Chain A
């Protein structure tokens, strides 16, 4: 490649990264607004502040790899390619949502993109990821399962059990801890005897790395290398990305557990601002590019809202649909005929 094509590649890559980070940010800002209007209900856990982790890490996967996610997963879903409209419609509770309105914000699923859901039990997704990887290994498939979780999950038994089993059975799972420093309102040094998450991998013989989750290019590099390690070694890897949630835990919380000053300090390290600064410096984006990205994103979000608005409500007759998988069974009209029972039970 000559110099100009390298620059062009960098430029396109930078614009993709910016587009994805800004899409998540604006999509969630809109979601918060729609929550206030009552269009979205239930719990709404915003990812704002943590965008660099999803945008850096998820593209390191191929479309054949699998993802198991958490209840703060709008960003993960969007980066994986679930259309914004399908995510928005899900939060509206409509049938054109990615889980047909049965899941809501915390349970986004898209099996065609191998996105195995927002799991709203902290650490509940880790054993599932281990199982997906086991199925891949037993069937000789060259897949990686990316398992996302927060620092809160590290206190759960399932975290330790899952790391142990994945290491013991040599399963291709990339455990990615999005350490936003708080398990809901409990800061990590108040719930972990040793707050560095990545060091815990050593006791399971798992390779691990730590990355600044506010630096999207660093996350990208760390994730690529971690995915490569999992794929080539056929063993799990633990990557810890230190990040920060700018908004409340869910839509409303008094944030008594952290100071405004702390939040402001982290906002000065906003991953989007940092990356915009760097991209401008490198000549990857111009002000015009930014304006056009913003207007493209605004249009996409407006479209996602109309898609959600236009969606149908599931008819009440279908309330109990999809509790069980439909199967065709032979019709049997009466119970088995009386049979003598010779069992000698005492």
Chain B
């Protein structure tokens, strides 16, 4: 199997999209000459030219809105926003236009827009570059939200997103870009709607996505040594959420821990917990537990940031407590 980094996988996905469909173009801050703030688009300007690799001014609201308009006008734009915190400047266009135009027009318009952005903490970038706000987007009907956590998903989810007739938001955890992994086939990425079981176990279900998948897998290996066999579910899609896969696992393990880098209050973890209660209440041997970010704007100092984020120890502890107290 071929090894690739997540960054190389994203770039390969972009190249394929640009090669296979002349309607596809990439725009965003520093995607061209600079090569992308995470170097995902390095070399694409030289390969595809300035018409298709478009550096934008620092105008998130307008270049996302222009993405929506150009999608309506027959193009297949891929808009890159540097980080999720900056995407807040474009929330108006996303929530008031991208998500609503189809419904508000009585079904006359589709907006085949793809927006990619980096998310997540762990790089000591403090309180304006480190948050995991994907749940804000997952809240909104009319858009789809995905979070590729593996090299294979990073490679193929973009192409799948571009086949969708409606807006798709792709959240790439910034810590994953240098991660190396096995690059699978498109069949391994399958579709945008289903979760994947990344590790099969029988004792506890760990539900997670994005950057937290790898912490969860590491925690699962630690727990295996202690005799606790963990099922690890990578949600992949945050809207819609593949609850059948989660509920099927809970029916097997009777215990669920959700690992989510967002803040706990009103988090994706809260939504999944509620849906487990609605769909599998009588299967549960223990209350659902959550490992989320602590309720604080991300601090700069490393020891504080580490303490704010979900980590392997916290996940191990949450699972162990559940098994100990509700064995």
Within 8 A of B (CB), among A330-346: 332, 334-339, 341-345
**B194 touches which of A116, A133, A164, A336 (Cβ 8 Å):** A336
In the complex, A325 has a CB within 8 A of chain B: yes
Chain B proximity mask over A134-170: 1 for CB below 8 Å, otherwise 0? 1110110000000000000000011001101100110
**B93 touches which of A98, A127, A139, A320 (Cβ 8 Å):** A127
In the complex, A102 has a CB within 8 A of chain B: yes
- Give me the 9 closest cross-chain CB pairs, A-B, nearest first: A131-B69, A127-B65, A135-B73, A100-B106, A345-B214, A343-B181, A161-B62, A109-B105, A131-B66
Chain B residues with a Cβ closer than 8 Å to the other chain, count: 71
Given A322-B106, A335-B195: A344 and B179 within 8 A (CB)? yes
Q: Is the interface of A mostly helix, strand, loop or mixed?
A: loop
Within 8 A of A (CB), among B123-163: 141-142, 144, 150-151
**B103 touches which of A102, A128, A165, A168 (Cβ 8 Å):** A102
Q: Do B245 and A325 have beta carbons less than 8 Å apart? A: no
Q: Do B197 and A165 have beta carbons less than 8 Å apart? A: no
Q: In the complex, which residues of chain B have a beta carbon less than 8 angstroms from the beta carbon of A320?
A: 141
**B196 touches which of A107, A158, A335 (Cβ 8 Å):** A335
In the complex, B242 has a CB within 8 A of chain A: yes
In the complex, B67 has a CB within 8 A of chain A: yes
Q: In the complex, which residues of chain A have a beta carbon less than 8 angstroms from the beta carbon of B248?
A: 334-335
Chain A residues with a Cβ closer than 8 Å to the other chain, count: 59
Give the CA-CA distance A250 to B141 in the complex, in Å: 28
10 A-B Cβ contacts within 8 A? A66-B73, A98-B106, A103-B104, A109-B104, A116-B72, A131-B68, A134-B70, A324-B144, A342-B1, A345-B217
Give the CA-CA distance A168 to B59 in the complex, in Å: 12
In the complex, B57 has a CB within 8 A of chain A: yes
Question: Which residue among B66, B166, B175 has the maximum number of chain A CB atoms within 10 Å of its CB?
Answer: B66
Q: Do B190 and A336 have beta carbons less than 8 Å apart? A: yes
Chain A residues within CB distance 8 Å of chain B: 66, 68, 97-103, 107, 109-111, 116-117, 119, 121, 124, 126-136, 138-139, 157-158, 161-162, 164-165, 168-169, 320-325, 327, 329, 332, 334-339, 341-345
Given A164-B57, A327-B165: A99 and B108 within 8 A (CB)? yes
Q: Do A336 and B72 have beta carbons less than 8 Å apart? A: no
**A161 touches which of B51, B59, B74, B180 (Cβ 8 Å):** B59
Give the CA-CA distance A128 to B180 in the complex, in Å: 39
Least CB distance, B71 to chain A, in whole angstroms: 7
